[in-house]
Amino acid sequence: MPPTRVGPALLSWASQLEESTLAQARQTAAMPFIHPHVALMPDAHAGKGSAVGTVIPTRGAVMPAAVGVDIGCGMIAVRTGFTRADVDARIAATGIGLGALRRSVESAIPLSPGHYNRDTHGWKFTAARIAELEDLAAADGVDLTHSPKWREQLGSLGGGNHFIELCLDETDRVWLFLHSGSRGVGNRIAQHHIRVAQQACAQRHVRLPNRDLAYLTEGTAEFDRYLRELHWAQRFAYLNRAEMMDRFGAVFARWMGTPDHRETERTNCHHNYTRKEMHGGEEVWLTRKGAVDAHAGVRAVIPGSMGTHSYVVEGRGNADGLCSAPHGAGRRYSRTEAKRRFSQADLRARMTGIEYRDSAEFVDEIPDAYKEIGVVMDDARDLVVVVHELRQILNVKGT
């Protein structure tokens, strides 16, 4: 759908938009360094400081809370060489169902907040990723003493709406799919710089409509340090997803009784990050808070909610949309409200036909707590082209 102008420097692609979300977006769009405008994505909903689903171009400044505390959070999708028929044949031949595969995935990848790997030697591909991150930290002077267990965090999922899924596309090809970010180490980095930005604005007597819109100014030591540590955390998140995907692929191949998972394509993308881009004729710092890169021809992944379809997409390069697209379904109800409205029985009904861990702790992730992904994708039709539509047959979540 074409955008709606909802403020002097604010365009919206959201047909489902709460007043609280719009109010946050208007505050963000009124900051003095916005150029050319803020773009509100179809899945936008209220967040910390800035609404989730906001694309924010800034000149000479970055707002750490707008980037968010899960720096580099995003998606990875891998298409395998298998089909639904291969999976069904394997189950028929062995009598080993998807429940066994789910439990193997849960053993291979630590789930839930605070759960890390016991050591870093369990998988042959882990050492190279740790070495890359160590070298990057040393080269950029990134202090990681606040997170002595960051190496053990690599290859762990986390909780909330992070998940791992086995999916089928429109032709019944099998995909491996997961959502996660920079874990505890990224959160520590983000929280530190949010405080630094708030202190810097207070010292300069900057009047803010919301203290979580505090910013760091380009050309200062604080800004430079944040960008270096942000870059490191974004790389950690990217490699964290790759690490988990390689483990998932190995576990799936073992379950299928084959040497590997026959990977044919891979898309790994952030949806909470900042980088320099050209927009409105100028180079700006572009923050995608709950949004993906949708430059022309760029592949991205837009997940639905637990129990609904997800999408592999290709960007259209929409300039008004700041070459961005939504990052998912977007919440309709808070976790507390979802638990009040829905029950474990409701979740079971919504997950019919999908292998998952049946637990009341996931009620706040029920699809009904999220916006309709079909509506979100329809709103985004001028931003992306759908390449593949995926439906899950297995779901793994942390608490």
Helix axes 84-94 and 221-256, enclosed angle (nearest 10): 50
121 as an active site residue: the answer is no
What pLDDT sits at residue 49?
78
Q: Is the pLDDT of residue 267 over 80?
A: yes
What pLDDT sits at residue 399?
84
Side-chain-side CA neighbours of residue 270 (13 Å): 23
State mean pLDDT over 149-173. 97
- Answer for the pair 56, 27: CB distance below 8 angstroms, yes or no: no
Q: Is the pLDDT of residue 29 over 80?
A: yes
Q: Is the pLDDT of residue 9 over 80?
A: yes
User: Residue 48: pLDDT band by 50, 70, 90 thresholds?
Assistant: confident
Collapsed DSSP state (helix, strand, coil) of residue 280: coil
What the chain holds in terms of domains, given with CATH numbers, is: 4-332+370-397 (3.90.1860.10)
Q: Is the pLDDT of residue 105 over 80?
A: yes
State mean pLDDT over 202-225. 97
Average pLDDT score over the chain: 97
Q: Cis (ω within 30 of 0) for the bond into 36?
A: yes
Q: For residues 194 and 212, give the distance between their C-alpha atoms in angstroms, rounded to a whole number.
A: 8
| pLDDT tens profile 344-390 | 999 999 999 999 999 999 999 999 999 999 999 999 999 999 999 99
**Residue from 274, 260, 266 nearest 242 by CA:** 266
Match 């180079």 to its residue by tokens.
283
Residues listed for the chain: 399
| pLDDT tens profile 277-323 | 999 999 999 999 999 999 999 999 999 998 999 999 999 999 999 99
Phi and psi based region of residue 303 (left: phi greater than 0; alpha: psi -120 to 50; beta: remaining): beta
Q: For residues 183 and 88, give the distance between their C-alpha atoms in angstroms, rounded to a whole number.
A: 35
Q: Is the pLDDT of residue 5 over 80?
A: yes
CA 302 to chain centre: 9
| Active-site annotation holder among 179, 279, 327, 388 | 327
- Which is higher by pLDDT, 306 or 59? 59
| pLDDT tens profile 66-103 | 999 999 999 999 999 999 999 999 999 999 999 999 99
What pLDDT sits at residue 2?
86
CA dihedral for 386, 387, 393, 399, sign (positive or negative):
negative
